[in-house]
């Protein structure tokens, strides 16, 4: 089995970090995994993305033009990456910053007001990225919340472990997104 993931959004939304947590999670689960970012000039104010490939055996290619799961945290990424979703795949859309609109009928759409939830339930929009991973965990069933918790410990700097409880809360909130009344 091999699965491809892309996380995309504005610079500053923590998409690279979210990808790093996801990739660490797959490593903890003893999967083969690669992470690849957009870098350089692309990072200056524009959209940022990273792709994660998880496989049972060797990763077949690091950079691909399709993915099974794509998380888009803003409108620009939604516009760009809708066509990248593999047939039967899923796109998780941050409906706080992107319009709820389905243009394909061969993929699954999951609209969640991620930024709004992060602001209202966690008091910090910077938690959007980790919250999105919680949603991915639920939707994909390819990685558990407890693995993602361990992965967060690998990624968060040892001096900033005080941030862990809030991040775990964000993961859980994302995982339970469909139990909550969604606004709008």
Partner 1 sequence: MVECLTGKKILIKGNYAIANAAVLAGCQCYFGYPITPQSEIGEFMSGKMQELGRSYVSAESELAAINMTIGACATGAKAMSSSSSCAIALMQEALSYAASDELPVVLVSVMRGGPGLGNIYSSQGDYFQTTKGGGNGDYKLIALAPSTVQECVDLTYKAFYLAHKYKNPTVLLADGLLGQMMAPVEFKPYPYPEIDNSEWALTGAKGRNSRIIRSYAPLADEQCVFLEKLFNKYKQIEENETEWEEIGTEDADIVLVSFGSTFRNIKTAAKICRQKGLKVGVFRPITLYPFPHKRLNELADRVKKIISVEVNMGQMINDIKLSVDGKVPVELIHKPVGAPPAPEDIAAQVEELA
Residue ranges in contact with partner 1 by CB under 8 A: 20, 23-24, 27, 33-37, 39-41, 58-65, 154
Of 31, 44, 41, 30, give the one whose Cα is nearest residue 5: 31
Measured distance CA(32)–CA(148) in Å, rounded: 16
Shortest Å, Cβ 24 to partner 1: 5
Q: Which residues pair with 55 in a beta bridge?
A: 2, 32
What would the two tokens of residue 141 be? 């069933």
Shortest Å, Cβ 81 to partner 1: 16
Q: Which is nearer to partner 1, 50 or 132 (CB)?
A: 50
Alpha-helix runs per DSSP H in the chain: 15-28, 75-81, 114-122, 128-140, 145-155, 164-175
**Does residue 85 contact residue 91 with C-beta atoms inside 8 Å?**
yes
Measured distance CA(99)–CA(101) in Å, rounded: 6
Q: Which is nearer to partner 1, 35 or 109 (CB)?
A: 35
Q: Which is nearer to partner 1, 59 or 156 (CB)?
A: 59
Q: Which is nearer to partner 1, 34 or 108 (CB)?
A: 34
Shortest Å, Cβ 66 to partner 1: 10
Shortest Å, Cβ 41 to partner 1: 7
């Amino acid at each position: 089995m091999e699965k491809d993931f892309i996380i995309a959004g504005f610079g500053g939304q923590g998409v690279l970090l979210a990808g790093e947590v996801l990739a660490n999670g797959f490593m903890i689960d003893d999967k083969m995994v690669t992470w690849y970012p957009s870098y350089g000039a692309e990072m200056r104010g524009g959209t940022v993305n990273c792709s994660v490939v998880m496989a049972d055996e060797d990763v077949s290619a690091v950079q691909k033009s399709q993915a099974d799961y794509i998380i888009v945290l803003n409108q620009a990424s939604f516009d760009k990456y809708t066509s990248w979703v593999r047939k039967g795949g899923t796109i998780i859309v941050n409906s706080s910053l992107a319009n709820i609109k389905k243009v394909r009928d061969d993929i699954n759409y999951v609209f969640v007001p991620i930024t709004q939830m992060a602001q209202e339930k966690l008091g910090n929009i910077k938690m959007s990225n980790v919250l999105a991973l919680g949603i991915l965990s639920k939707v994909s069933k390819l990685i558990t919340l407890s693995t993602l918790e361990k992965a967060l410990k690998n990624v968060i700097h040892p001096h900033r472990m005080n941030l862990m409880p809030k991040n775990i809360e964000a993961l859980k909130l994302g995982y339970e997104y469909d139990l909550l009344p969604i606004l709008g």
